[in-house]
Structure 1
Amino acid sequence: MVHMNQGQGETSYAHNSSIQNRMKPLIEAAIIDLCGSRSTLFPEKMLIADLGCSYGPNALALVSTAVKAIINHCLQFQQPPPEVCVLLNDLPDNDFNTVVKSLVTLRQNNNKLVVVTGVAPGSFYERLFTSDSLHLVCSSNSLHWLSMAPEDLTMNQIPAYDMDEHARRERLPMRLMHVSSGKISYFSWS
């Protein structure tokens, strides 16, 4: 079974998940684009979904950024904030207990607007939401945890990912040692 590496080591999820921080400016720009300016009609309700939600300290990184961007945008343009619904999605086998506890914290920390939270368990290859209901969808974690490879990649025999990414990272120092000693070509090692 594929799972995230636990702990704080070199190959742990917590150590290798800085992508969320790089997504913040993109999410803020998307919120500005969605909300418009003072002259445009501001949405009364917004639904934000995180597909393949993270676990642990990064569980709410992207959706929290979106909620803060909404608050800041409303303050800047003196607009009343919309009601916000935040839904986290992952496969049903995920332990949602910790994630749900963090959703409570998200609601409590954003008392300047109505934040309703929930989970949407299931594969994002299937329909999870009603038509025209989503305003912002983010996903920093789902691409490398796909439950099946995208059809275009499999049809064209393009390798989508290393099935054992964490083991590959653990072998990297050994590979580099062999390359530097001249005993093996880095590109021929599998």
Structure 2
Amino acid sequence: MGKREQFGIDLKSLCVKPGRARWTLTVDCACACDRGSMLDALSVGVRAALADTKIPKVTVAGVGEDGAGGELEIDDDPEACSRVDVSRCGVVVTTTKIGRHGVVDATEEETACSEATMSVGVDREGTICAEFGAGGESLDRGTAQAMRKLACKVGVELIEHMDGYLARAIAVDVDDDDEGDDRVLKVKIRR
């Protein structure tokens, strides 16, 4: 497996019939406010939405001996669904440089006096998947490395907390699919 293939969703898992049919996932996002890092919030929201996505079981019936033809039959039993595996999906963590310090999830006031901002895509092992310079002055190598290190640490902790929450939420959903609740993900990052 190449370095680029280890991040994101395993596209083979969306294949129904190779070369003929596949599932296509579309995520529609809307931001309710412009405070904080939208990129970070969107990455967490998309990862959670994908983890909650149920893919119906599909069988191909009526395929000829030559492999041609066939009709897709979608099982309407909710228990026969599978979930999207997000274990290889990372999150984005934006760090902001203020003086000699790196800040994560900067407030409006902190952003106003920041010198530079860097957004880093991080997977569950703390590997950098992507990096975006979001603005401000250029960073020296040491400061940029410190900001990356902070983003990786926070990203790993965020994914750990998020995966634990998602596992519990999915278990509750499986146990009692009819009961709504007002679960809220709360994450406290250790410094």
Normalising by structure 2, we get a TM-score of: 0.26
Task: Name the structure, 1 or 2, with higher relative contact order (CA <8 Å, separation 6+).
Answer: 1
Higher percent of residues as helix: 1
